[in-house]
Amino acid sequence: MSDTTPATVKADMPDAAPKLHDRFPSAFTILFALIVIVAALTWIIPAGQYERVPNEALGKDTPVPGTYQTVEGDPQGILDALRAPIAGFYDPVSYAANAIDVSLFVLIIGGFLGVVNRTGAINTGITAAMRRMQGREKWMIPILMALFAVGGTTYGMAEETLAFYAILIPVMIAAGYDAVTGVAIILIGAGIGVLGSTINPFATTIASNAAGIPFTDGLNLRVAILGIGWLICVAFVMRYAARVKADPSLSIVADRRDDNAHHFLGKNAAIDSGITTKQSIVLVLFAATFGLMIWGVSSQGWWMAEMSMLFLGAALVIGTVGWIGEKPFVESFVDGARDLLGVALIIGLARGIVVVMDSGRITDTVLHASEQAISGTSQVVFINAMYWIEVALSFLVPSTSGLAVLSMPILAPVSDFAGVDRSLAVTAYQSASGIVNLITPTSAVVVGGLAIGRVPYDRWLRFIAPLLLILTILIMAALSLGATL
């Protein structure tokens, strides 16, 4: 996400004033600044904890309502802040999975893509696909967003999407769009699915179990949010894509257009050459790898270790079929992994924020303050206040399952006193978590996807801000309606 202008070019322009968008800090600076801010808050916010009991259904310890008490604090100092990005990779923090497995997955995907690109199959395949879809490229957007939304609503597709950015973005650029369009299709497509989760085990099921209700309670309202939200998101992305195709200068990354085309398509991307038999086999294996990944995650319980194994094995098979040679294979794999090294580092840095909060013992204090804030309000006020509280908590705990285990055992019982059905509390939680995870810099999915797509964080915020406003209005209207029925 940093400035990609070559140093030699900059040297030729010593007097050129930096543009405003170049002054915005990189993702690394933003995340480390957040670590420092949270560390400072551990000196101000009183430390506290809820008692926790094992929950066999969830396989985790859950907080017990009414048991909050202050405890001796552990303010985080300079050394703790410096340690947090390292600890973010491997510390068994309470409410987030370790980042090392996700980071290694990203590096192996980079190596896999490096090997595939060495065969030339991707560039040749993109050229052939664009020739066949001449004039119909725009329909890729709703189709792909529907597929990602299905993944999001059924099994919480999130980290798995990191494998698709380097594949889809070149297709969008070749079709006349930009990198932001490719990022939006994946991040917003899967994101609206998670926001409108129906049977997502990592959001709806865990939250419902923690709230003590069947996960099917409130399903109709969630389906409505999913359907309407998906239509809004598709219209938003298609409108932007059409504007960029008609006038490339309207792209929010217009200044990086040539550099991105070179990065994602390569020097020979525009060459119209036929696909060889060998390249056709590589493309079939390439597609089969992603299909196998989706099958493994959705039905076999695969996670990062199994997916990393799959892409490593696929790289070996494709390297052999493509017959690129042993040394070129190793060079391509290492170079591909190197391209995504920054993404892997960002993921650990983002998790460091959660490490500081938990080490400073302020996570439960924030939750207790939220519990107190919404007690004794009317039904409509309560559910909308709960939504905004979950929004705030989602920035601190980007894991959907972690946030469910943390907040639902406390906030769901409080909804009983307000006369609000617990299923509506679950809907408020998952909607808040879903919308925040479209932008939060503490999420590996967001910062990782933007880094792969070479879209600066500030420009992503500028792009998605109108959509966030529209989705927020939709969610609050749906929650208010649910509270009055």
**Residue 202 forms part of a structural domain:** yes
pLDDT at 130: 62
Q: Which residue is associated with the tokens 């939006």?
A: 184
Pairing of strands 69-70, 60-63: unpaired
DSSP 8-state class, residue 324: -
Which of these, 317, 159, 177, lies nearest to 253 by C-alpha position? 177
412 neighbors 312 (Cβ within 8 angstroms): no
126 neighbors 170 (Cβ within 8 angstroms): yes
Predicted confidence (pLDDT) per residue in 119-176, tens digit? 888 767 766 766 677 778 888 899 889 988 988 898 788 877 888 898 889 889 988 9
pLDDT at 17: 43
What integer best gives the mean pLDDT of the chain?
A: 83
* Angstrom distance (rounded) from CA 229 to CA 221: 12
Calculate mean pLDDT across residues 257-271: 71
**Residue 434 forms part of a structural domain:** no
pTM of the model: 0.73
Helix (H) or strand (E) holding 48: strand 48-49
The model's confidence at residue 466, banded by pLDDT at 50, 70 and 90, is: very high
**Residue 431 forms part of a structural domain:** no
With a cut of 70, say whether residue 273 has pLDDT above it. no
Number of domains in the chain: 1
pLDDT at 454: 92
pLDDT at 58: 60
Pick 66 or 108 by higher pLDDT: 108
**Residue 163 forms part of a structural domain:** yes
355 neighbors 378 (Cβ within 8 angstroms): no
The token pair that represents 315 in the structure block: 């790289």
**Residue 150 forms part of a structural domain:** yes
pLDDT at 189: 95
* Angstrom distance (rounded) from CA 32 to CA 23: 17
The model's confidence at residue 94, banded by pLDDT at 50, 70 and 90, is: very low
**Residue 98 forms part of a structural domain:** yes
With a cut of 70, say whether residue 11 has pLDDT above it. no
Calculate mean pLDDT across residues 381-403: 87
pLDDT at 18: 43
Calculate mean pLDDT across residues 3-18: 39
The model's confidence at residue 336, banded by pLDDT at 50, 70 and 90, is: confident
66 neighbors 417 (Cβ within 8 angstroms): no
Residues contacting residue 425 through CB under 8 Å, at least 6 positions apart: 211, 383, 386, 408, 411, 412, 415
The β-bridge partners of 70 are 48
Helix (H) or strand (E) holding 52: strand 52-55
**Residue 333 forms part of a structural domain:** yes
DSSP 8-state class, residue 62: E
- The total number of residues written for the chain in this structure: 485
Q: Tell me which residue range forms the domain holding 95.
A: 27-41+77-360+452-463
Burial (Cβ within 10 Å: 0-12, 13-18, ≥19) of residue 389: buried
Calculate mean pLDDT across residues 69-79: 91
With a cut of 70, say whether residue 264 has pLDDT above it. yes
229 neighbors 221 (Cβ within 8 angstroms): no
Cα–Cα–Cα angle for 57, 294, 132, nearest 5°? 155
pLDDT at 20: 45
364 neighbors 405 (Cβ within 8 angstroms): no
**Residue 393 forms part of a structural domain:** no
Calculate mean pLDDT across residues 251-263: 90
The model's confidence at residue 342, banded by pLDDT at 50, 70 and 90, is: confident
pLDDT at 193: 94
With a cut of 50, say whether residue 328 has pLDDT above it. yes
* Angstrom distance (rounded) from CA 50 to CA 371: 12
pLDDT at 332: 92
Predicted confidence (pLDDT) per residue in 198-237, tens digit? 888 778 888 888 888 888 899 999 999 999 999 999 999 9
The model's confidence at residue 381, banded by pLDDT at 50, 70 and 90, is: very high
